[in-house]
């Protein structure tokens, strides 16, 4: 693997670390929590629910400090970085609680600091700790995450990987137009802005098609092609992979040389700062995975998700020998891999969902060598949008979930209006986790093969109960308390 840390990069990170120490941001009383996940995985909802439950003293029986009533107060405070926008917590909560709508896709980075005042469980702890923990959380568009692996890839490797993925059966059709255009391009010809732009646009159109495809493909880099932030139209975004990279095509002035230079500029000006300022400073990490979406779409999407997860987790390997190891100012000592949206299944399937995600992450965990870090897997829902019930069908009693499906969601012929509550039988997940990766044997019933495993619909956020004195209660969840215990419980001991 090519070494990517240059002297300047390392010096900058060392400087950041020093500056943070000086500013007291790295005190033992601070945790920087990374909430990571591909786009639509549930990061913004998770952060909102996390903060809401702590501030409102939500029902968190498995979060020990809360159960033991050792938390005196949790409140939002001024965030440490002045140059980063604040996470719009109040707006997101108002949307979830008052309007019962989910937040919009995140378009830019934002940050939040939650301060928890607590009483230490031990006399020793009470003597030596301030009883205050600041939790810093960063939210960003999920697309940007897939850029991190680019830091370890040359332009030639990036091009090679992009074409290799583009011809896989699930992407072949979506990438056809871009590949056809790329095949007509002479990489050794003099560089030309119009050609560069046509290629970049065709490539971006393919990435967008993947994102919107019903097969629920995980996104591909470069992330800013999908979520440009403030970089729309800049040269650092006007490049694309080329089909055959040859050293002799790369002479100065050629199209290939131009593409390569812009790819490197993208890494230097977009990916590295994002990594350095946000990812390299993390202490703990939750990786959210929307396995439901992939399961619904079938084995190709599941494998695609596994590929994406492996690439991402590879960037967080805190053990020695990882290609980004030297970049980490802190050592990430806990990583939680969480399957979100478990409320779309009956609880009988939660353990199966957890097993599937464990299986999904297995290869990534093995490859990433997380020695020295605790890694846990959990099936959860940051916001529980459903209740459970049973429905009698003939002699059978079926376990169902009850909620308000979003407007225009459908099951069979039925289309929902976004207002009425409905009971849904979501289906069972398979007992053997490995089966979600497998296509049925050739010759088996084809129609059945395409039938999704689970049949989930998206629900509106729940209607919150109000207590007798009119106070809205905290957002309901599934196993959010377990996540909290793993992520910060020990820091409040
Ligand atoms: N039922 C249920 N749905 C959820 C939950 N969390 C997220 N969702 C759904 O997933 C969608 C995406 O959630 P977000 O939190 O916006 O996802 P994100 O990771 O921030 O996405 P980007 O900002 O696009 O990267 C929401 O609009 C909801 O439909 C959950 O706990 N339960
Ligand atoms: Mg978001």
pLDDT at 301: 85
**For strand 410-411 and strand 414-415, is the pairing parallel, antiparallel, or unpaired?**
antiparallel
Task: Indicate whether 266 pLDDT > 70.
Answer: yes
pLDDT digits (tens, 9 = 90+) for 87-104: 999 999 999 999 999 999
Rounded CA gap, 223 and 46, in Å? Answer: 21
Q: What is the mean pLDDT of residues 95-122?
A: 91
Which ligand sits nearest to residue 342's alpha carbon?
Answer: 1
Burial of 38 (0-12, 13-18, 19+ CB in 10 A): buried
Ligand closest to 293 (CA) is 1
What's the gap in Å between 115 CA and the centre of ligand 1? 25
Residue nearest to atom 14 of ligand 1 (CA): 42
Encoded tokens for 102: 């989910």
Residue 343: DSSP 8-state:
G
340 lines ligand 1 (CB under 6 A): yes
Q: Is the pLDDT of residue 4 over 50?
A: no
The pick from 41, 45, 218, 291 for probing ligand 1's pocket by mutation, whose C-beta has the most ligand atoms within 8 angstroms, reads: 45
Q: What is the mean pLDDT of residues 3-16?
A: 57
CA-CA distance, 104 to 389, in Å (whole number)? 30
Question: What is the DSSP code (8-state) at residue 97?
Answer: I
Q: What is the pLDDT of residue 430?
A: 85
Q: Is the CB of 92 under 6 A from ligand 1?
A: no
Whole-angstrom Cα Rg for the chain: 24
In the prediction, which pLDDT does 253 show?
Answer: 92
Q: How confident is the model at residue 464 (pLDDT cuts 50, 70, 90)?
A: confident
| Mean pLDDT value across the chain | 85
Residue 24 has pLDDT above 60, yes or no: no
Cβ-contact 131, 26 below 8 angstroms: no
pLDDT in tens, 413-457: 889 999 999 998 887 888 888 888 887 666 555 444 445 556 678
Question: What predicted TM-score, i.e. pTM, was given to this entire model?
Answer: 0.87
Tell me how far apart the alpha carbons of residues 70 and 118 are, in angstroms, rounded to a whole number.
Answer: 5
Q: Are 251 and 187 in contact (CB under 8 A)?
A: no
**142 Cβ closer than 6 Å to some ligand 1 atom:** yes
The pLDDT of 352-369, averaged and rounded, is 84
Lowest mean pLDDT among 139-143, 197-201, 402-406, 461-465: 139-143
Residue reference for tokens 């005196």 = 72
pLDDT for residue 364 is more than 50: yes
Mean pLDDT of 23-52: 84
- 342: tokens are 């478990």
Instruction: Say what the pLDDT of residue 258 is.
Output: 95
Q: Is the CB of 424 under 6 A from ligand 1?
A: no
Higher pLDDT, 381 or 398: 381
Distance 108 CA to ligand 2 centre (A): 9
- Using an 8 Å Cβ cutoff, are 312 and 144 in contact? no
Per-residue confidence (pLDDT) for residue 1, from 0 to 100: 37
**Ligand 1 binding pocket includes 416 (Cβ within 6 Å):** no
The confidence score (pLDDT) of residue 338 equals 95
Looking at residue 442, its pLDDT comes to 61
Report pLDDT digits (tens) over 43-77. Answer: 999 999 999 999 998 899 999 999 999 999 999 99
Distances (CA, A) of 108 to 268, 279, 459: 18, 15, 26
Indicate whether 321 pLDDT > 50: no
Q: Are 54 and 114 in contact (CB under 8 A)?
A: yes
Report which protein residue has its CA nearest ligand 1's atom 15: 42
Pocket test for ligand 1, best of 40, 93, 381 (most atoms within 8 A of CB): 40
Give the Å distance between the CA of 44 and the centre of ligand 1. 7
Å from CA of 341 to ligand 1 middle: 8
Mean pLDDT of 71-86: 90
Cα 277 from Cα 63, distance rounded (Å): 30
Determine if ligand 1 sits within 6 Å of the CB of residue 44. yes
Which of ligand 1's atoms lies nearest the C-alpha of 48? 15
Query: Which phi and psi angles does 409 have, rounded to 5°?
Result: -70, 150
Q: Is the CB of 43 inside a 6 Å radius of any atom of ligand 1? A: yes
- Residue whose CB lies within 8 A of the most ligand 1 atoms, among 38, 42, 58, for a mutation test: 42
180-216 pLDDT, tens digit per residue, is: 999 999 999 999 999 999 999 999 999 999 888 777 7
Question: What is the Å distance from ligand 2's center to 220 Cα?
Answer: 17
Q: How many of the other CB atoms lie within 10 Å of CB of 94?
A: 12
CA distance 73 to 93: 19
| 219 closest CA partner among 318, 325, 105 | 105
Quote the pLDDT of residue 15: 63
């Amino acid at each position: 693997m090519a070494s990517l840390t240059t002297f300047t990069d390392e010096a900058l990170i060392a400087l950041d670390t020093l500056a943070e120490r000086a500013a007291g941001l790295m005190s033992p009383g601070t945790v920087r929590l990374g909430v990571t996940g591909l786009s639509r995985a549930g990061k913004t909802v998770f952060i909102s629910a996390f903060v809401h439950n702590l501030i409102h003293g939500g029902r968190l029986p498995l979060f020990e400090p809360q159960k033991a009533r050792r938390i005196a107060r949790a409140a939002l405070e001024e965030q440490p970085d002045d140059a980063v926008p604040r996470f719009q917590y109040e707006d997101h909560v108002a949307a979830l609680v008052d309007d019962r709508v989910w937040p919009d896709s995140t378009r830019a980075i934002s940050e939040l600091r939650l301060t928890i005042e607590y009483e230490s469980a031990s006399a020793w702890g009470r003597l030596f700790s301030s009883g205050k923990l600041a939790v810093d959380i960063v939210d960003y568009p999920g697309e940007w995450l897939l850029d991190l692996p680019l830091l370890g890839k040359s332009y030639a490797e990036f091009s090679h990987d992009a074409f290799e993925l583009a011809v896989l059966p699930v992407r072949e059709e979506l990438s056809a137009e871009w590949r056809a255009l790329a095949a007509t391009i002479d990489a050794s010809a003099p560089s030309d802005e119009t050609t560069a732009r046509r290629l970049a646009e065709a490539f971006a159109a393919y990435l967008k098609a993947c994102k919107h495809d019903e097969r629920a493909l995980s996104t591909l880099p470069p992330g800013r092609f999908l979520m440009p932030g403030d970089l729309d139209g800049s040269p650092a975004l006007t490049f694309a992979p080329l089909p055959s990279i040859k050293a002799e095509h790369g002479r100065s002035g050629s199209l290939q040389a131009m593409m390569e230079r812009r790819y490197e500029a993208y890494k230097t000006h977009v990916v590295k700062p994002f990594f350095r300022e946000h990812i390299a400073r993390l202490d703990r990490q939750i990786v959210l995975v929307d396995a439901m979406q992939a399961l619904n779409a079938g084995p190709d999407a599941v494998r695609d998700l596994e590929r994406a997860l492996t690439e991402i987790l590879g960037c967080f390997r805190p053990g020695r020998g990882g290609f980004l190891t030297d970049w980490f100012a802190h050592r990430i000592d806990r990583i939680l891999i969480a399957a979100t949206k478990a409320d779309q299944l009956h609880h009988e399937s939660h353990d199966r969902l957890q097993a599937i995600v464990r299986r999904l992450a297995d290869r990534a965990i093995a490859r990433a060598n997380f020695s020295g870090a605790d890694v846990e897997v959990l099936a959860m829902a940051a916001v529980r949008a459903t209740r459970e019930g049973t429905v009698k069908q003939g002699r059978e009693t079926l376990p169902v979930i009850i909620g308000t499906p979003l407007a225009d969601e459908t099951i069979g012929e039925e289309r929902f209006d976004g207002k009425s509550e409905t009971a849904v039988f979501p289906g069972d997940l398979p007992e053997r986790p490995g089966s979600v990766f497998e296509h049925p044997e050739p010759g088996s019933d084809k129609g059945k093969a395409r039938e999704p495993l689970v049949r989930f619909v998206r629900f509106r956020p729940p209607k919150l109960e109000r207590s007798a004195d009119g106070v809205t209660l905290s957002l309901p969840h599934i196993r959010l308390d377990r996540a909290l215990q793993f992520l910060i419980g020990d820091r409040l001991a």
